[in-house]
A and B are shown apart, each in its own frame.
Chain A
Amino acid sequence: MFYYPFMQRALIAGILLAGLFAYLGVFVVMRRMAFFSDGIAHASLAGVAAGVLLSLNPLATALVASVFFALMMFWLEKKTNISSDAVVGLIFTFGMALGVLLISLKRGYQPELIGFLFGNILMIKSLDLWLIGIASVLISSLLFLFRREITLMSLDREMAYLSGVRTNLLQLAMYIVLAISVVLGIKILGIVLVSALLIIPVSISKLISRSFRKLVIRSVLCAEAIMITGIFLSYLFDLPTGAAIVLTGAVLFFAVFLLRKS
């Protein structure tokens, strides 16, 4: 199966994204930002729809839209007394509604949109792979470089500030990085399921780790195993890729949970 170029592209993109999502997922879980990532993914439908409508690369337009929505969430959280989850809920539904409206303007069946919603390995083009590769390496490097500051802020924002961390700037950077990463994953996992890869590997790893270092390493290993197995199963049984990957992760989670209990 690895003879086919589309499978090679899907695997390379999957391996890069799995590592990034696992590492990022540790901080998402620590900062309880799971809903944020889900919200950004769903809101990015507006960007995808705009891309399809204007005959532009939907991944590129989704990236622009997701960064815009992330900035909007940050700004609303700072400037209003609305709780964070309410702000995410607002942007989530606004982006989705805008996406649905834009889709309705394009007549006829849109197979590409279905692929974006549920993930499709056939959709990873060479340009997408370059985009995913460059962004993954850049974001992973940033996360690694500022790992102390990000970990500290994820534990306690005030403590981070008092340790000299520029918390506002770092939080904004995390929002943007998370928004970009989530959108990069939608071609494989789909808008609906992409945030699962931020949550499942770290959740499995939490069950079996007793130090932060092990939590990070095992999250990355779990994510890679889930991604490769999911893509393989998707190809073998002609299943929707996103669903195959997420279900593989969920099965692994319950297996580890039950084994650990016994």
Chain B
Amino acid sequence: MTPTLIKINHLSVRYDGQVVLKDLNLEIQKGEIIAVVGPNGSGKTTFIRALLGLVPYEGTIQIDGQPIRASLSKIGYVPQRFSFDRSIPMTVGEFLALSFNKVPVKKLKHALMEVDMTQYEHYQIGSLSGGQFQRILIARSILNDPLILVLDEATSGIDTAGAKSFYEIVSHLNKVHGSTVILVSHEINMVYKFVDHIICLNRELICYGKPKEAITKEVLEKLYGQDIRFQEHRH
């Protein structure tokens, strides 16, 4: 049996007294790709932020048997938005070298190769497109060989082809590095075939399981209302 990597007990998050997430109980196994799906305002990003210790929460979260703060170095994170000053002249190589003290050049080049961005090492980060920069963020997140890779709506603002290639890179990293991947997405059709398990949220846990078993008509109705239809991408 695959060992448990993340153990979440009675997780609740409130903002200004309003419950945003209610009593989540989950166990995530090592080496899996997990998608967190749900409509806007369902608490997907809040769930990720709690997992990273960025918001106060009730309940417990343990990563590899340890509290979050002690486990941050084991997590690679690709945010939904990275709001930096694009006019600052900084090369991709310099940006990646900030990840931790003394990043070996060989490791930096390898990370760029993994996301197919080798030729961009000397480009300025401000000159990259959204899709290219997301790849650089993935390269950054894998530099310290993370146990967990967290991607928060990392394909928002990227076209369908770009998103598909993005998921292929993520899938490749999961296979090669064995990292557990948790990705938040509103593209339920797109993530369907890339993930091992799916977490459906709508302020509480609606479903958790293998996509084909977890996504039922009732679940979709609970998430998106009665008029929703699921269509798997075949290209």
Contacts and interface: CB of A to CB of B under 8 A. Distances in A.
Are A and B physically bound partners?
yes
Interface of A: 29-30, 32, 148, 151-152, 155-156, 158-159, 161-164, 206, 209-215
Contacts of A158: 54, 79
Given A152-B98, A158-B54, A162-B77, A215 B72 contact: no
A212 B79 contact: no
Nearest to B77: A162
B52 interface: yes
B2 interface: no
B54 A161 contact: yes
27 contacts: A29-B88, A32-B85, A148-B98, A151-B98, A152-B98, A155-B84, A158-B54, A158-B79, A159-B82, A162-B75, A162-B77, A163-B72, A163-B98, A164-B72, A164-B73, A164-B100, A206-B88, A210-B124, A211-B89, A211-B90, A211-B122, A212-B89, A212-B90, A212-B94, A214-B89, A215-B88, A215-B90
B56 to A, nearest CB: 14
Interface string B78-97: 01001111011111001100
A206 B124 CA distance: 12
Interface of B: 52, 54, 72-73, 75, 77, 79, 82-85, 87-91, 94-95, 98-101, 122, 124
Contacts of A29: 85, 88
Contact of A163 (B83, B95, B100, B122): B100
A211 B82 contact: no
B149 to A, nearest CB: 12
Nearest to A212: B90
Given A156-B84, A159-B82, A164-B73, A148 B101 contact: yes
B83 A156 contact: yes
A214 B84 CA distance: 19
Contacts of A148: 98, 101
A32 B85 CA distance: 9
Contacts of B98: 148, 151-152, 155, 163
Contacts of B83: 156
Contacts of B72: 162-164
A215 B85 CA distance: 14
